[in-house]
Amino acid sequence: EDLHLPSENRFIPRDLSLCSELPDDAKEGPRISKEMDPPNLIFENIFGRLWHRLDDRYCLPKASVSILLRNPRLDSQYDETSQTWTYDASSSIYSSMMMSVFSDALAQETYETELAGLTWHFNKTSAGLILKCSGYSEHLTEFALKILSRFFQDQTIVNKPFLTERYVAPTKDKYLRNFKSYFESRRADTYAAYYTDFLLASRNKGVDYDVEVIEGLSLDN
């Protein structure tokens, strides 16, 4: 009685037509030898810039979207006295863990989109938060907006918050295991490289500090 067909996957593409702006010769097949054109800046204001490049080499009914979100709080704290942003190792660790928690929380929710050929990655980098979505064009915009809306929802009122103990606890355990085992399975040259980077880096406080910060992590902070 429990055996049944899966529910309809609305992200499976039905429209596989190519972009109407492609030249006719591009629609006949891939043009591997063609040089790649640079992207065009099509919109800019105080909030950001939007770039676009038409893929006229491979000419597939696919697209990719990359969104860079900059926020100084990812790695810094604001000093009211000096009115400047200063690097804060705790903020950097917490923001990295938050992105890991978010990815884990949405793994099951985005399973059907992966089956439909849509993939996504949302990571913290030195430049900021980068969301990358790629796959068949028909539902790509809807999919990217879905990821962004889930990330920016108020966690105190949303029906399915991702900042819960269910997802935070496994991520905390994973990070702690990784940092605590850092020196247990490393070669001598890795030790040398680590301490060299540690001495030369002006902002890094070392693995021991990272472990201390992670151990003190809770949903409140």
Q: What is the pLDDT of residue 173?
A: 94
Give dist(CA 66, CA 123) in Å, integer.
11
CB under 8 Å to 144, separation ≥6 — which residues? 65, 67, 120, 131, 133
Residue 201, token pair as written in the block: 């880096």
Q: What is the pLDDT of residue 98?
A: 94
CA dihedral 59, 120, 150, 55 (to 10 degrees): -20
221 residues of the chain, pLDDT tens digit each: 688 888 889 899 999 988 888 878 777 777 878 788 899 999 999 999 999 998 888 888 899 999 999 999 998 999 888 889 988 888 989 999 999 999 999 998 899 999 999 999 999 998 899 999 999 999 999 999 999 999 999 888 888 889 999 999 999 999 999 888 877 766 777 778 777 877 776 666 778 888 899 998 888 77
Give dist(CA 119, CA 135) in Å, integer.
6
Helix 89-105 to helix 207-215 angle, to the nearest 10 degrees?
A: 60
Give dist(CA 103, CA 101) in Å, integer.
6
Q: What is the pLDDT of residue 155?
A: 86
Q: What is the pLDDT of residue 64?
A: 95
* Helix ranges (DSSP H) in 16-164: 89-105, 111-115, 140-152
Q: What is the pLDDT of residue 204?
A: 67
Q: What is the pLDDT of residue 142?
A: 94
